[in-house]
Amino acid sequence: MSILVYTESEKGKLKKTALEVVSYAKAIADQMGTTVTAVAVNADNAESLGNYGAAKVLSVKNDALNKFNAKAYAAVIEQAAKQEGAKVVVVSSSADSKYLAPLLAVGLEAGYVSNVVEAPSSTSPFVVKRSVFTNKAFANTEITTDVKVVGLSNNSFGLVESGGTASVEDFSPSLPDSGVTVESVDKATDKVSIADAEIVVSGGRGLKGPENWGMIEELAEVLGAATACSKPVSDLGWRPHSEHVGQTGKPVASNLYIAIGISGAIQHLAGINSSKVKVVINTDPEAPFFKAADYGVVGDAFEVVPKLIEKLKAF
Ligand code: FAD
């Protein structure tokens, strides 16, 4: 019996969430006196998962899995879980994992709890803390089924390096007939994806037009950040829809979220509530975002942002 983890990768590179779910699973495994087995699909560097607590990696190499397909991926993880006799399966809270987790739970006859933010306080009973109402509250939920599927909120547990090593085994599960294939469009820039970004620089309608996004991109470049935007900005075609964050867009769980010319409407805040530190730059001191922010600058973005870039470059 081990704890099984599905570790996501993109173009062969393990995502930060992959390292986080393994770190999280290791904390549960230590409580239960067992080990962590990771499933990695077409990942190049699977053995590195040992450093975050995986004792074993089941490495799947199959071109048919190059594009995400929830049915196929759920089948892969289900077979791995059954082979390992896993009682707990951990996935991330990415769009792909949220899509496959219910299918996996059905296949394993397991209870599934999403948006989990902490390791369980007790593994008997198995009680997990999850965020609810767009991170405005938390609920403790007991999973009573024999097998449990846990969806960990991104950037909630963090990365814990244990310095261990993992054995890597080839794993060749059978794949079901293909259903719908979903291609994830997750790149905000060619460099950093919103889901994996430590820092996100986001612009709103206060920036007046797409021609003014040069300074947003430059600030993001200096900080090694991803760029994002409010919904009206992507609706107006100023930025691609893949950058839209909020209730109807992507969730952001970065360590730092810088909102520039964004009012802070409830639907926008719903998507960024789980970011750790929020900084707002807005001309209007009454903008609702200031109530949700950790730091605020009341000022004109066209004056503040260039100065910020200048200071950061000199740093
Ligand atoms: P505005 O509300 O126009 O705010 C612009 C801000 O820029 C103002 O606060 C202004 O003071 C400031 N500003 C102006 N000039 C400057 C300057 N020179 N320097 C600095 N600041 C300046 N929105 C989302 O973002 N994400 C969602 O997922 C989302 N989902 C929605 C779902 C539903 C069902 C509905 C009804 C709405 C949704 N919205 C969403 C829209 C949301 O309600 C707001 O309308 C939207 O977030 C406002 O975007 P904004 O802050 O960029 O623009």
Residue 122 pLDDT greater than 60, yes or no: yes
Instruction: Give the tokens for residue 64.
Output: 């048919």
Beta bridge partners of 4: 37, 89
Peptide bond into 176 cis (omega under 30): no
**DSSP strand E in 154-292: where?**
167-170, 199-203, 226-229, 256-260, 277-282
3-class secondary-structure state, position 151: strand
Q: So what's the pLDDT on residue 181?
A: 61
Ligand 1, residues 201, 211, 229, 230: which to mutate, most atoms within 8 A of Cβ?
230
What pLDDT, on a 0 to 100 scale, did the predictor assign at position 58?
A: 98
Atom of ligand 1 nearest to the CA of 229: 25
**Which residue intervals of 164-294 are DSSP H helices?**
214-223, 231-235, 266-272, 289-292
Binding-site members are 205, 261-268, 282
Identify which has the larger pLDDT, 179 or 13: 13
What is the distance between the alpha carbons of residues 225 and 201, in angstroms, rounded to a whole number? 6
**Position 196 confidence tier, pLDDT thresholds 50, 70, 90:** confident
136 vs 75, higher pLDDT: 75
pLDDT of residue 114: 96
In sign, the C-alpha dihedral spanning 242, 244, 250, 256 is positive
- The three-point CA angle 88-49-194 to 5° equals 90
Q: Residue 178: its pLDDT value, please?
A: 65
| pLDDT of amino acid 194 | 85
In the three-class reduction of DSSP (H, G, I as helix; E, B as strand; rest coil), residue 274 is classed as: coil
Percent of the chain exceeding pLDDT 70 equals: 96
| Residue ranges at the known binding site for FAD | 205, 261-268, 282
Mean pLDDT over residues 306-310, rounded?
A: 97
The per-residue pLDDT for 184 is 59
Given pLDDT bands bounded at 50, 70 and 90, which one contains residue 177? confident
Check residue 32 and give its pLDDT. Answer: 94
Q: Going by DSSP bridges, is the β-strand pair 13-14/9-10 parallel, antiparallel, or unpaired?
A: antiparallel
Banded pLDDT at 180 (limits 50, 70, 90):
low
Q: What is the mean pLDDT of the chain?
A: 93
- Distance of CA 204 from the midpoint of ligand 1 (Å): 6
Report which ligand 1 atom has the smallest distance to the Cα of 287.
9
> How many whole angstroms from 289 Cα to the centroid of ligand 1?
10
pLDDT, residue 200, reads 97
Q: How far is the CA of 92 from the centre of ligand 1 (A)?
A: 29
* Mean pLDDT for the stretch of residues 218-246: 96
Query: Per-residue pLDDT tens for 28-64?
Result: 999 999 999 999 999 999 999 999 999 999 999 999 9
Q: Is the predicted pLDDT of residue 188 greater than 50, yes or no?
A: no
Q: Is the confidence at residue 127, as pLDDT, over 50? A: yes
Please give the helix or strand (H or E) that residue 71 lies within, else none: helix 70-84
Distance (angstroms) between ligand 1 centre and the Cα of 135 equals 20
Task: Write the DSSP symbol of residue 250.
Answer: B
Structure tokens at 227: 């760029």
Q: Could you report the per-residue pLDDT of 147-172, keeping only the tens digit for each?
A: 999 999 999 999 999 999 999 999 99
Digit-coded pLDDT (tens) for 278-302: 999 999 999 999 999 999 999 999 9
**Residues 268, 177: Cα–Cα separation, whole Å:** 39
Atom of ligand 1 nearest to the CA of 284: 11
- What does the pLDDT read at residue 134? 80
Q: Which residues contact 124 (CB under 8 A, 6 or more apart)?
A: none
Mean pLDDT of 256-270: 97
Ligand 1 centre and the CA of 230: distance in Å?
6
Residue 199: pLDDT above 70?
yes
Q: Which amino acids bring their CB within 6 angstroms of ligand 1?
A: 204-206, 230-233, 246-249, 261-263, 265, 267-268, 271, 281-284, 287, 300-302
Q: For ligand 1, what atom is nearest to the CA of residue 304?
A: 19
Kindly report the protein residue whose alpha carbon is nearest to atom 25 of ligand 1: 230
The number of beta carbons lying within 10 Å of the beta carbon of residue 263 is: 19
Q: What is the pLDDT of residue 270?
A: 93
Q: What is the pLDDT of residue 182?
A: 59
- Which residues, 6 or more positions from 60, have their beta carbon under 8 angstroms from its beta carbon? 39, 40, 41, 42, 76, 171, 172, 173
For ligand 1, pick from 263, 275, 302 the residue to mutate: most ligand atoms within 8 Å of CB: 263
Interface confidence, given as ipTM, is 0.99
The tens digit of pLDDT for each residue in 65-105 reads: 998 999 999 999 999 999 999 999 999 999 899 999 999 99
| Top mutation candidate among 200, 281, 283, 308 for ligand 1, by most atoms within 8 Å of CB | 283
* Mean pLDDT, range 108-113, rounded to an integer: 98
| pLDDT of residue 189 exceeding 60 | no
Atom of ligand 1 nearest to the CA of 300: 19
